[in-house]
Amino acid sequence: MKSRSRVTSPALAVLALLVPLLLGTAPASAAPRQPIRYDALGDSYASGYGVPPYSTTCGRSQSAYAVQLDGRKKIDLDDFVACAGATTTSLVSGGQLTALDAGTDLVTLSIGGNDIGWSSAVVACLAGSDAQCAGGLALTSARIRTALPGLLDTVYAKVAAGAPDAQVFVTGYPRLFSPEYGPYLQASPAEQQALNDGADLLNGVIAQVAAAHGFRFVDVTKRFEGHGVNSPEPWVLGLFDPGAFHPNADGYEAYTAAVTAAVNPSTFR
């Protein structure tokens, strides 16, 4: 007669393996991902200027893409220090970099437009003669090519040093006009296109210098197509608005969508 133990031992072994599962014991799971600590730096396009009400300083608005990003994809807005009127120099001297530290995971940055006198070129084309428009565009384009790369290189290096473990996303500027809808004030469709080409040149330089520092450039030009200041559904405020040539609420939503699409939470530490 065969021993019963030889028949039941394999069954007992299997049962021993199954007991933890039957009792609800599961393999240890990975720790939940921590919130992405986020600091927002830059100029008026980062502060949300154009859509009031504003903070008492720097024209910060609740419509800013930084505020809208807060809470999305586990992004936790820590410091919102973008300031209307900021240049590459005043961003540093004004203390924006103090928001950064070794615990910063995500940085967004919009800077450069005020360094080249972009608004002066726009006004020259809208309110001046053809010669003034051409002169303003030539001066601005020269500044973009010659002066801006070094200015950006300096401030980007400081951002990288201030937040050594962060991912940095640099946002560009939209094309302000939709030439297909005809003249806008004194700016002909051809002059509008020249201004848009200037915006493309500005974005190209920003993107190139950003890439050299390992930063990611967020392009918004396609999202603003057909929504220039002279379009039927503008996402840019007109010359006579207090926030002239800044995004309106729809424009800032477009910025938010672009940055949200660019950020991949799985790539953060």
**pLDDT tens for each residue of 75-86:** 999 999 999 999
To the nearest 10 degrees (0 to 180), the angle between helices 118-127 and 189-212 is 170
pLDDT confidence of 269, banded at 50, 70, 90? confident
Calculate the alpha carbon distances from 27 to 13, 30, 222 in Å.
20, 10, 46
Residue with the bigger pLDDT between 34 and 226: it is 226
Calculate the alpha carbon distances from 192 to 83, 115, 168, 176, 196 in Å.
28, 21, 31, 8, 6
The pLDDT score that the predictor gives to residue 33 is: 72
Q: How far apart are the C-alpha atoms of 66 and 263, rounded to whole Å?
A: 13
User: Contact 77/70 with Cβ under 8 angstroms?
Assistant: yes
Q: How far apart are the C-alpha atoms of 143 and 7, rounded to whole Å?
A: 88
- Active site annotation includes 213: no
Average pLDDT, the chain: 91
pLDDT confidence of 19, banded at 50, 70, 90? very low
Percentage of residues in the chain with pLDDT exceeding 70? 88
Mean per-residue pLDDT, 183-189: 95
Mean pLDDT check: name the lowest of 14-28, 46-60, 115-129, 238-252.
14-28
Catalytic residue among 3, 29, 44, 141: 44
Catalytic residue among 47, 227, 231, 246: 246
- What spatial distance separates the first Cα and last Cα of the chain, rounded to whole Å? 64
Find residue 247's DSSP bridge partners: 236
Mean per-residue pLDDT, 25-39: 71
The pLDDT score that the predictor gives to residue 29 is: 53
**pLDDT tens digits, residue range 129-161?**
999 999 999 999 999 999 999 999 999 999 999
pTM of the model: 0.87
pLDDT confidence of 10, banded at 50, 70, 90? low
pLDDT confidence of 22, banded at 50, 70, 90? very low
pLDDT confidence of 1, banded at 50, 70, 90? very low
The pLDDT score that the predictor gives to residue 21 is: 47
**pLDDT tens digits, residue range 40-96?**
999 999 999 999 999 988 999 999 999 999 999 999 999 999 999 999 999 999 999
**pLDDT tens digits, residue range 86-129?**
999 999 999 999 999 999 999 999 999 999 998 899 999 999 99
State yes or no: cis peptide before 183, omega within 30 of 0.
no
Tell me the residue ranges of DSSP E strands in the chain: 36-42, 75-80, 106-110, 167-171, 216-218
Instruction: Report DSSP state, residue 215.
Output: P
- Active site annotation includes 44: yes
Q: Which residues contact 168 (CB under 8 A, 6 or more apart)?
A: 107, 108, 109, 156, 159, 160, 210, 213, 214, 215, 216
The pLDDT score that the predictor gives to residue 125 is: 93
The pLDDT score that the predictor gives to residue 6 is: 45
25 has pLDDT over 60? no
14 has pLDDT over 50? no
